Amino acid sequence: MAGNRKEQTVVEVMIVREEAATVCRPAGELDAYSVQAFRDHLAELAGEPSVVIDLSEVPFMDSAGLGALIGGIRKIREAEGEVVVVCDRAAVLRLLHTTRFDRMVSVVASCDDAYAEFNSTLE
């Protein structure tokens, strides 16, 4: 059964550079089995001025996924970048709220809301 679990946790990460921000869009479960690809992609975004991490295609995240998310955000911020997280999945939102992640980083429901966050900080 453990072998099946490992096969089910493949995550694909897409990076899209848009005018308003660079968007990191993982798709799949972010857990101990799959988190390395996500971590690697986030590390590449250090130096980008505005980053949206879109978790709308992430149905599940465990502590390893949360750790990778926090570590990636830290690197982006250390390089003077801004980060907004997009999440509309109830299970993931619960994790972000329970761990108080949403007090450290802006969490919004859509990419349009994230772009608005960046625009409001420029004013």
Q: For the chain, give the percent of residues with pLDDT over 90.
A: 85
Rounded to 5°, the CA angle 5-6-12 comes to 115
For residue 39, is it within any domain?
yes
Please give the Cα distance from 96 to 102 (Å, whole number).
6
Checking if the pLDDT of 1 tops 90, the result is no
DSSP string, 33-90: TTHHHHHHHHHHTTT-SEEEEE-TB---B-HHHHHHHHHHHHHHHHTT-EEEEE---H
Cα-Cα-Cα-Cα dihedral sign, residues 29, 35, 40, 42 = positive
* Tally of domains in the chain: 1
For residue 84, is it within any domain?
yes
For residue 10, is it within any domain?
no
What's the gap between Cα 59 and its chain centre? 12
For residue 2, is it within any domain?
no
Query: Contact, 23 vs 52, CB < 8 A?
Result: yes
Please give the Cα distance from 114 to 61 (Å, whole number).
21
**Region for residue 105 given its phi and psi (left: phi exceeds 0; alpha: psi -120 to 50; beta: otherwise):** beta
CATH number at residue 77: 3.30.750.24
For residue 104, is it within any domain?
yes
Give pLDDT tens digits for 36-89: 999 999 999 999 999 999 999 999 999 999 999 999 999 999 999 999 999 999
For residue 48, is it within any domain?
yes
Domain that includes residue 108, residue range: 20-122
For residue 4, is it within any domain?
no
For residue 7, is it within any domain?
no
